[in-house]
Amino acid sequence: MSYSFLLSLGKSDCPYYARSELLGDKLVKNLPDFQLHKIVIKPEEWDKWLKETCSSREWSHNKCPLVWRELIDRGGKGVLIGGANEFQEYAFGYYGVQSTQVSDDMRKMAEENKAYKIEEDKEEEAIKALSHPLNVCITNASNQVCYNLINAMARGDIFGETTEISLHLLDDKANMESLEGLRMEAMDLAHGLLREIIVTSDVSKAFQGCDAIIVMDDLVQKEKESRDDFVKRSVEHHVKYAKVINEKAKKEVKVLLTGTGPTNLNIYMMIQNAPNIPKQNIVGLSRTLENNAKSVVGEKLNVNPSGVVDLIVWGNINGGTYIDLSKCRVHGYDGAIWGPPSFSLPAVEMIWDKKWMENEFTELVKGRHQKSEELMKHSASMSTAAAIETTMAHWWNGTPEGQIFSLVVASEGWYEVPEELVCSFPVTISPKGNWCVVQDINQTSEVKEKIKEAVKDIIADKNVIFPPPKPPTPPPSEVTVTIVDPKDQQEKKDGEKATDSDSNTEAKLATIIEEKTADSLHLQNQEKTPVDTQEAKPE
């Protein structure tokens, strides 16, 4: 059975390591089944490395070097031997071999070791400098969307077939074990472009030096939580991210927001709290809803959804939206008119059913994601991952020429959307990764009204954080203040009661007089009636 002695140099200038190293070399030379592995550590890194190593293996050791034994064929945590003196005693007791180095030779060897370590580190840094991996961070990385996204990244489908990536996976401490398993599986993909994977719950470490960040935190409204409280909690969460990104990430970092909650408002707040990052570099995902709508149109016309192009999503991506088919075209439609692959037909003319487009179409699109999850009995993570993949790929490499896609961005007054308000717009993206809102779309009055309704929904979310100002208070000169004495007020009430009483008395007297007058007239009429009758008889 083979044995391996691991010698760890805590400080490259440690003379005791030099003595242990030579003793180990002598054992390797004279013993047939003895192997030696040397770990050389920089002096400034030794204390931290020793503490972590001993803690993970449940050892107690505080000096240099650190020597332990492992069974190669069996593994295990190893058996601690100790420092230089313990290693000498072990070697002499088991094998009759001991070191004969004097102190002066040990010091000279330590100096040589230090110089060699410095040179070796320089060579390693030079090799790493030849490659500049792209630092990409994914938040809420235990989400199934991340699981479906990593393979495309590592394969080169998003950032290019020659671009190495360093992947930063961020999540809560409770999910670290799950992320470690994800890291292991991702490395098992054996993709050459995947340089390293960092698993962390530290936001600062995750965003450090990042070129791209995908924020997909799924904050869910609690059972007894009001909508306003949920919006405030979501905003607070994303503002924390924005402040760290502003400080730690690269200034040209590209940030894509996905997930649930008020995405448009979260983007707006992140832009406000990350002044070092260009506002055009913080955007939101419209592609999931866009692809859902393309699938519904594809099913209606019996065409592949990939053949449905130039479909536009306006508005609040997780709230009030309007799906615009006015520019939408369809490739591969099996109709009376045929053409080459580039030939397309207007989707509105092919569908022709205006009632379906105004009512049923919208309901089918809104319910499609939920329906697929109900049928599968788990989240529809694959389609969301695909939407993120294509959006990031287009953002890095450009959109297909002549095609329009949707993206949630900060407005500059386009289509009468207030400036700085974040809204989903139709865009194209250049090969250098610069998006541009398509501004020559002719809109009917009906479409304009639909967009205005969607904008109202965005403003409603914004008003939760920034309530509209109250009517101004009039200046003191315009305000009349009346001080009422309680005694005067009581006297006034008593006077009112007395007046009411007098009024009632007068009314009663008037009624009695009227009744008496009526009775008297009645009696007079009765007295006159017999006389008049008698005079009327003939003689």
- Per the DSSP assignment, residues forming a β-bridge with 37 are 6
Report d(CA 141, CA 325) in Å as an integer. Answer: 35
Structure tokens of 519?
A: 């009775």
Same domain, 266 and 310: no
- Residue 529 has what pLDDT? 46
Q: Which of 465, 481, 516 is the last residue of a domain?
A: 465
- Residue 41 has what pLDDT? 84
- Residue 164 has what pLDDT? 92
Same domain, 228 and 357: no
- Per the DSSP assignment, residues forming a β-bridge with 313 are 323
Strands of the sheet with 344-346, listed across from one edge: 308-309, 329-331, 344-346
Residue 194, domain member (yes or no): yes
Return the closest-CA partner of residue 24 out of 99, 131, 105: 99
Q: What is the number of domains present in the chain? A: 3
Report d(CA 466, CA 261) in Å as an integer. Answer: 17
Q: Are 36 and 27 in contact (CB under 8 A)?
A: yes
Residue 429, domain member (yes or no): yes
Same domain, 267 and 383: no
Report d(CA 325, CA 312) in Å as an integer. Answer: 7
Residue 526, domain member (yes or no): no
- Residue 517 has what pLDDT? 57
* Residue 155 CB neighbours (<10 A): 14
Report d(CA 11, CA 44) in Å as an integer. Answer: 8
Same domain, 178 and 220: yes
- Residue 263 has what pLDDT? 94
**Ranges of H-type helices in 45-143:** 46-57, 84-95, 103-129
CATH number of the domain where residue 445 is located: 3.90.110.10
Report d(CA 508, CA 512) in Å as an integer. Answer: 6
Same domain, 323 and 402: yes
Residue 191, domain member (yes or no): yes
Q: Which of 465, 486, 516 is the last residue of a domain?
A: 465
pLDDT in tens, the chain (539 residues): 445 555 555 677 788 888 888 888 888 888 877 777 788 888 888 888 888 888 888 888 888 888 888 765 545 557 888 888 888 888 888 888 877 767 777 777 778 877 877 887 788 777 666 668 999 999 999 999 999 999 999 999 999 998 999 999 999 999 998 999 999 999 999 998 999 999 999 999 999 999 999 999 988 888 888 999 999 999 999 999 999 999 999 999 999 999 888 999 999 999 999 999 999 999 999 999 999 999 999 999 999 999 999 999 999 998 899 999 999 999 988 877 777 878 889 999 989 888 898 889 988 988 887 888 888 887 888 999 999 999 999 999 999 998 999 999 999 999 999 999 999 999 999 999 999 999 989 888 888 999 999 999 999 999 999 998 877 776 766 555 555 556 666 666 666 555 555 555 555 555 555 555 555 555 555 554 444 444 444 43
- Per the DSSP assignment, residues forming a β-bridge with 524 are none
Same domain, 437 and 319: yes
pTM to 2 decimal places: 0.68
Same domain, 256 and 297: no
Q: Name residue, tokens 């900060």.
A: 410
- Residue 488 has what pLDDT? 61
What is the four-CA torsion angle of 161, 163, 169, 170, rounded to 10 degrees? -120
Report d(CA 490, CA 188) in Å as an integer. Answer: 90
- Residue 460 has what pLDDT? 93
Produce one character per residue of 387-402: b if its CB has 16 or more CB atoms within 10 Å, e if not.
Answer: bbbbbbbbbbebbeee
- Residue 440 has what pLDDT? 86
- Residue 7 has what pLDDT? 55
Same domain, 121 and 139: no
- Residue 534 has what pLDDT? 41
Same domain, 158 and 29: no
Same domain, 314 and 272: no
By residue range, what is the domain housing residue 438? 287-465
Residue 460, domain member (yes or no): yes
Report d(CA 253, CA 209) in Å as an integer. Answer: 9
Residue 332, domain member (yes or no): yes
Residue 114 three-state SS: helix
Report d(CA 408, CA 279) in Å as an integer. Answer: 12
- Residue 518 has what pLDDT? 55
Residue 65 three-state SS: coil
- Residue 504 has what pLDDT? 56
Same domain, 122 and 82: yes
Residue 386 three-state SS: helix
Residue 295, domain member (yes or no): yes
Give φ, ψ of 403 to 5 degrees: -105, 150
- Residue 182 has what pLDDT? 93
Same domain, 268 and 299: no
What is the four-CA torsion angle of 520, 523, 527, 528, rounded to 10 degrees? 70
Residue 270, domain member (yes or no): yes
* Residue 159 CB neighbours (<10 A): 22
- Residue 468 has what pLDDT? 86
- Residue 538 has what pLDDT? 41
Q: Which of 108, 128, 148 is the last residue of a domain?
A: 128
CATH number of the domain where residue 239 is located: 3.40.50.720
